[in-house]
Amino acid sequence: MANKIKFENLIKFFIYFFPISFIIGNSAVNINVFLLLLISGLYFLIYKINLKFNKILIILSALALYLSLLSIYRILSVTDHNTDEIFKAIIHLRYPLFSIFLYNIFIYINFDIKKIMYIYSLPVFILIFDLPFQYLFGFNIVGIKAQSGYFNSFFFDEKVAGGFILSFQYFLIGGILYFLKNKKFSEIFQAFIIVLCLIAIFISQNKMSLLLSILGLMIFYTLYKKNLRTLLLSFFVFTMFLIIFPNNKIKENYGEMINNIKSFSLKTKLFSMYLDEVPLEELEKEYPKTHKTEKQYYHGIGSGHAQIFASSLVIIKENSILGTGLKGYMKACKRSEKKLWCSTHPHNYYLDIAIISGLPGIILISTIIFLIVKKFLISRIYKKENLDLNELFYLILIVNFTIIFFPFKSSGSFFTTNNLSYIIFIISLISFFQEKIKKIE
């Protein structure tokens, strides 16, 4: 019995360590996932625990198996194939194993949800103070300096601090809502933390994370049905902050984002015409009057997202049925006969899924989204006046899930270690808590 408790405590440690591993880096996430799989696998084997499954886990497993087999097929179809790529395609199967083990870990091991909330909130709490500190003094609380005008806190030269806050801030905000409810000055403290989260993300210059944070807060407080005035107060204070914030490189970057959003539709149209080899004279007729430079074509300037998205749609058409397989985006982009704008990835999860896994991947992912949304609507917890801790935790997971699969956003690659590990983590916990909530009812 003592050894079993030691096993369980070790497994709990790796679950608690999950957000910290993202701060340390990609290798730490890989090691954490590997050790969690190893220790929990031994735990299930030694104590002869029968693993349980549900529809979501089965669909995730089917998607991962399809991707691995497709990738191996694509690799072997090339004469000078790399054996390392085959190995990477095989170890992609760790992700369905990760989801199955996570689901069963929460079934068979008793977790203190309060402790998870506290631990997952702590790094966010530190970051929302540390990023403004680094902006004001040029270095953070442990002496890490700003990198070329960017403020990344403990992430050094990786521009992901805002994305990390976005991914875990709802554990902090939800924890404050639950643990300080009915306390004096609770709403003011909530507003203070929300404003700090928004300011920290703003300073990190992770522009899409800021927009998604605002969207996520609106969704969270709408579903929670309480303290809407706290959210309104937070948005008001943050707006005042933006007004008085000095005009510098940070504000210029956000100004460029607004300009790119305004011109996105036109640039996409023009670049698609360019790909279809429409004469330059015809393209120039569509240029806005504000475009006065003759050295740069209007359809080729800006952040590049419009051009990448238009190029990605071409790749999807050329690989629509099966998909390219893992690591196949760049190869497919360069292989196309059209003059595509190639990047490291399509910068949108849905485009990435469609390119890499084709029609089967889109169908399987859409089915997962449908099942999760359907079960959330059936649970009707968004209609309850008072949520218990499990219900609040489930709601936080749903908000994170909504942000992950919000279609109109630019993003990193869906299939990178960090992103896919986080996505699998959220989906697996949702699949557990939606069953737990159902039992409570």
Domain residue ranges of the chain, discontinuous segments joined by +? 1-50, 113-249+352-440, 257-303
Pick left, alpha or beta for residue 63 (phi over 0 → left; psi -120 to 50 → alpha; otherwise beta).
Answer: alpha
Q: Is the pLDDT of residue 440 over 70?
A: no
> What local confidence, expressed as pLDDT, does residue 162 receive?
96
Question: Looking at 89-98, 284-293, 371-380, 423-432, which range is the least confident one?
Answer: 284-293
pLDDT bucket at 289, cuts 50 / 70 / 90: confident
One DSSP character per residue, 207-260 reads: HHHHHHHHHHHHHHHHHH-S-HHHHHHHHHHHHHHHHHS-SSHHHHHHHHHHHH
Distance CA 257, CA 254 (A): 5
Q: Is the pLDDT of residue 28 over 60?
A: yes
Mean pLDDT over each residue of the chain, to the nearest integer: 91
3-state SS assignment for residue 147: strand
Distance CA 129, CA 245 (A): 17
Distance CA 123, CA 172 (A): 9
Distance CA 16, CA 11 (A): 9
Q: Is the pLDDT of residue 441 over 70?
A: no
Segment 166-194 shows an average pLDDT of 90
Amino acid at 277: E
* Among the listed residues 380, 350, 379, the one whose alpha carbon sits nearest the alpha carbon of residue 366: 350
Angle, helices 161-179 vs 207-224, to 10°: value is 20
Question: Looking at 206-210, 304-308, 324-328, 390-394, which range is the least confident one?
Answer: 304-308
* Among the listed residues 358, 359, 355, 325, the one whose alpha carbon sits nearest the alpha carbon of residue 342: 355
Amino acid at 397: L
pLDDT bucket at 366, cuts 50 / 70 / 90: very high
Q: Are 296 and 280 in contact (CB under 8 A)?
A: no
Instruction: State if pTM tops 0.85.
Output: yes
- How many Cα atoms within 13 Å fall on the side-chain side of residue 64? 22
> What local confidence, expressed as pLDDT, does residue 38 receive?
96
User: Which single residue is written with the structure tokens 């790529």?
Assistant: 85
Question: Looking at 108-122, 133-147, 339-353, 427-441, which range is the least confident one?
Answer: 427-441
> What local confidence, expressed as pLDDT, does residue 364 receive?
97
Q: Are 213 and 171 in contact (CB under 8 A)?
A: no
> What are the tokens at 438?
């159902």
Distance CA 314, CA 336 (A): 9
Q: Is the pLDDT of residue 316 over 60?
A: yes
Q: Is the pLDDT of residue 87 over 80?
A: yes
Q: Are 328 and 293 in contact (CB under 8 A)?
A: no
Percent of the chain with pLDDT over 70: 98
Q: Is the pLDDT of residue 1 over 80?
A: no
> What local confidence, expressed as pLDDT, does residue 191 receive?
94
> What local confidence, expressed as pLDDT, does residue 423 receive?
97
Distance CA 427, CA 87 (A): 26
What pLDDT digit, counting tens, does each position of 348-359 carry?
999 999 999 999
Segment 403-428 shows an average pLDDT of 95
> What are the tokens at 271?
């670049």
User: Helices (H), strands (E): how many in the chain?
Assistant: 18, 0
Question: Looking at 70-84, 191-205, 359-373, which range is the least confident one?
Answer: 70-84
pLDDT bucket at 438, cuts 50 / 70 / 90: low
